[in-house]
C-alpha cells in the first residue's frame, strides 16, 4: 500500500516539483510516515506536517479537500455557489499559496470566493462569513502548532466550524476523490475570485469595540506587554488598543509575520517558554500584565504581575477571571439576561461553572472543539430559549460576543485589559481576583500533560492507551477512589454500578474519571497533534494541597501507561 502510493506520487506528471524532490530523498521510514494513511479531519479540521505524501499537508491534499468541499457547496444549489466562500490564512509556510489555490479550485466549480488581501485572524474569517453572507468559509492555519505544520479549517454559513454531521458529508466527498494529483485549476474563472480587506476589518473592529462593559475605566495605571507570536493578532490587537486608549508595549521582535517563528521557542501560549521574551519586556517596562496570542489569534495566554512576580494563568484560570468580571458587571448594570447560558467543554475546570451558578447563569457542556459551542450558539439564536453570555475552553480560547462563532483572542485581549484596569482601581491584581474565587468557591488546580507519539506506531499506541483505560476502568487513582466514569465513545456514564446515557453529545474518544475528593481526570487523543492528552481538575483545601494532589495524580497516570 505505502510503496504503491509512493510510486503513484513520484511518477505522476502533475506532482509539484518541490514535492517530487522531497519524495526522491525519502528513506523507508519517511515513506511510511508520509503514505501509511490519508490525512484526516480532527477536532479542528485537517492539520498536519507540511510535506509530500497523502498523510501530509501539501497543495495536492489541500486540493482534494477543496474538491470535496466544492461538491458539498454545489449540492446546496446555485444560490450557495453565488453566496460563495470566504477564505482567510495566517503567517505559516504556504498559507497564502494554499488560500489562493483554494479559491481557484472553487472557481472551477463555479463557486464565488472572497479572499483576504493578506493574513488575518481565524475569528475575523468566521466574522467575514457572516458579514458577507457567504455559504461557508476556509481558514488556512495550524493554529498554535510548531512551524512544520499547516492546516485547513472549514466553516458553515453561520461562521462555525463544521460539526461532525456536516463534516462527515464533506469527508465522504473528499474520500471519493480518486486521484488528488489529477486535480487542476487551469480552467478556473478568475472573475469569481474577489479580494477583501479593510472594509471587513473595520466592521470586525466595530463589533469588537462594542463588547466593552466599562469603556471609561481608568487606563493610566495599567501597562500591558503584548506579543502576537509572529502571527495574525499583531494589527488587530494594536488597532483595538490604540482606539480604546490602553497603554501597551509590543514585543517588536515577535510582530513580524515570520513562518519560522524565529524569535520564540514556541508560538503556543499554553507553553511557558513562549513568554520568555515578553517577560523580559515586562520586567524592563514594569508591566502589569502580559498578553500572548497564538499565530491565528484564536487563543490568548496571560501573565500577571503579583507581589512583584509574574504569574502565568492557565486557560481555565483566565477564563474564570473573565467570567467573574463579565458576569459581575452584567449583573451590576442590570444587563444579565434571565435565561443566560454559558458554554464550556467536558475537559474544562469546574470552577467556571461554580462562578456562573453564583450569578444565576446556566452552564452547558460540549465536547472539545469550539465548533460545538458555535453550534449551541446557533441553536439558541433561533429558539431564543436561552441567551448566550460567554463560552470558553481550557485551551486558552474564549468568545465574549457571538458575532464571531469561534474563539476570539482580540475580544479576549480587550476584555482582559478592561478587567485589569477595573480591579486595579480596587487595589487588586487578576491573581487576587482568582484567589478570591478560590476562597469563595473552593480551590481548584487544573493542569494538562500529554504523551507525544508520532508516526504509525505512535497512532497505534495512542489507540491502545485509550482502549486499555476503556476496558480496564481504574477503581482508584493515587489511592483515591474512582466514584464514577464517563465514556463519550459509548455515551455512557457509570456511577455506583448503575449505567446511564450521556445525552446531547456526539460520540468522541474521551474518557473521564471522577474521584471521591471532588477531582476528575480526563483522557483523550488530540485532534490536532500526535498526542494522548490527560486533563486534571483537582480540588483541594488550599492551592498547595491541590498542587500536591495534582502531582500525585499525574504520576499515577504516567505509571499506568509506562
Task: Look up cell 466514569; give the residue.
Answer: 485
Q: How far apart are alpha carbons 436 and 423 in whole angstroms?
A: 12
* Nearest partner of 177 among 325, 331, 260, 54, judged by Cα: 54
* Nearest partner of 118 among 1, 257, 219, 6, judged by Cα: 257
Torsions phi, psi for 91 (to 5 deg): -90, 5
CB 24 within 8 A of CB 196: no
Q: How far apart are alpha carbons 183 and 21 in whole angstroms?
A: 20
The C-alpha cell at 338 is 434571565
Task: Look up cell 479593510; give the residue.
Answer: 198
The active-site residue, picked from 95, 113, 126, 143, is: 143
Reply yes or no on whether 262 is catalytic. no
Cα distances (Å, whole numbers) of residue 161 to 92, 123, 152: 20, 11, 11
Torsions phi, psi for 502 (to 5 deg): -90, 110
Task: Look up cell 460576543; give the residue.
Answer: 401
Q: In sequence order, what are the residues at sequence separation of 6 or more whose Cβ sits closer than 8 angstroms to the Cβ of residue 253? A: 263, 277
* Nearest partner of 346 among 153, 475, 471, 487, judged by Cα: 487
Q: How far apart are alpha carbons 270 and 295 in whole angstroms?
A: 12
Judged by DSSP in three states, 8 sits in: helix
Residues involved in catalysis: 143
Amino acid at each position: 500500500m505505502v510503496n504503491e502510493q509512493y510510486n503513484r506520487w513520484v511518477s505522476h506528471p502533475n506532482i509539484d516539483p518541490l514535492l517530487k524532490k522531497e519524495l526522491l530523498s525519502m528513506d523507508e521510514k519517511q515513506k511510511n510516515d508520509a503514505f501509511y494513511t490519508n490525512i484526516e479531519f480532527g477536532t479542528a479540521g485537517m492539520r498536519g506536517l507540511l510535506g509530500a505524501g497523502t498523510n501530509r499537508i501539501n497543495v495536492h491534499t489541500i486540493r482534494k479537500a477543496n474538491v470535496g468541499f466544492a461538491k458539498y457547496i454545489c449540492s446546496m444549489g446555485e444560490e450557495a455557489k453565488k453566496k460563495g466562500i470566504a477564505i482567510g490564512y495566517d503567517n505559516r509556510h504556504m498559507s497564502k499559496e494554499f488560500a489562493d489555490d483554494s479559491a481557484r479550485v472553487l472557481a472551477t466549480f463555479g463557486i464565488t470566493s472572497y479572499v483576504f488581501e493578506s493574513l488575518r485572524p481565524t475569528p475575523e474569517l468566521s466574522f467575514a462569513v457572516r458579514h458577507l453572507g457567504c455559504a461557508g468559509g476556509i481558514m488556512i492555519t495550524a493554529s498554535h502548532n510548531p512551524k512544520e505544520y499547516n492546516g485547513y479549517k472549514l466553516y458553515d454559513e453561520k461562521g462555525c466550524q463544521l460539526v461532525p454531521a456536516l463534516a462527515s458529508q464533506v469527508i465522504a466527498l473528499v474520500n471519493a476523490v480518486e486521484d488528488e494529483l489529477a486535480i487542476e485549476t487551469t480552467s478556473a474563472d478568475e472573475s469569481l475570485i474577489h479580494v477583501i480587506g479593510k472594509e471587513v476589518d473595520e466592521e470586525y473592529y466595530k463589533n469588537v469595540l462594542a463588547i466593552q462593559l466599562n469603556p471609561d475605566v481608568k487606563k493610566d495605571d495599567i501597562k500591558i506587554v503584548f506579543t502576537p507570536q509572529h502571527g495574525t493578532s499583531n494589527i488587530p490587537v494594536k488597532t483595538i488598543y490604540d482606539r480604546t486608549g490602553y497603554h501597551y508595549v509590543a514585543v517588536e521582535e515577535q510582530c513580524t509575520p515570520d513562518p519560522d517563528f524565529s524569535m520564540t521557542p514556541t508560538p503556543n501560549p499554553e507553553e511557558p517558554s513562549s513568554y520568555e521574551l515578553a517577560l523580559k519586556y515586562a520586567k524592563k517596562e514594569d508591566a502589569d500584565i502580559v498578553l500572548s496570542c497564538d499565530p491565528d489569534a484564536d487563543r490568548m495566554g496571560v501573565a500577571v504581575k503579583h507581589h512583584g512576580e509574574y504569574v502565568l494563568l492557565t486557560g481555565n484560570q483566565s477564563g474564570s477571571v473573565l467570567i467573574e468580571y463579565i458576569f459581575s458587571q452584567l449583573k451590576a448594570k442590570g444587563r444579565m439576561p434571565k435565561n443566560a447560558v454559558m458554554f464550556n467543554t467536558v475537559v474544562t475546570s469546574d470552577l467556571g461553572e461554580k462562578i456562573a451558578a453564583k450569578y444565576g447563569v446556566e452552564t452547558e457542556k460540549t465536547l472539545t472543539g469550539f465548533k460545538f459551542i458555535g453550534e449551541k450558539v446557533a441553536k439558541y439564536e433561533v429558539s431564543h430559549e436561552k441567551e448566550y453570555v460567554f463560552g470558553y475552553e481550557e485551551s486558552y480560547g474564549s468568545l465574549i460576543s457571538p458575532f464571531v462563532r469561534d474563539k476570539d483572542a482580540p475580544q479576549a485581549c480587550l476584555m482582559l485589559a478592561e478587567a485589569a484596569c477595573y480591579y486595579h482601581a480596587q487595589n487588586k491584581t487578576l491573581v487576587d481576583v482568582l484567589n478570591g474565587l478560590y476562597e469563595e468557591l473552593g480551590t481548584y488546580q487544573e493542569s494538562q500533560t500529554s504523551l507525544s507519539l508520532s508516526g504509525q506506531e505512535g497512532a497505534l499506541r495512542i489507540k491502545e492507551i485509550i482502549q486499555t483505560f476503556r476496558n480496564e476502568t481504574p477503581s482508584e487513582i493515587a489511592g483515591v477512589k474512582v466514584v464514577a466514569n464517563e465514556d463519550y465513545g459509548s455515551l455512557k456514564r457509570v456511577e455506583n454500578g448503575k449505567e446511564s446515557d450521556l445525552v446531547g453529545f456526539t460520540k468522541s474518544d474521551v474518557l473521564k474519571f471522577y474521584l471521591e475528593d471532588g477531582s476528575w481526570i480526563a483522557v483523550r487523543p488530540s485532534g490536532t497533534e500526535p498526542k494522548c492528552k490527560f486533563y486534571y481538575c483537582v480540588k483541594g483545601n488550599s492551592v498547595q494541597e491541590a498542587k500536591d494532589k495534582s502531582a500525585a495524580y499525574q504520576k499515577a497516570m504516567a505509571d499506568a501507561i509506562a
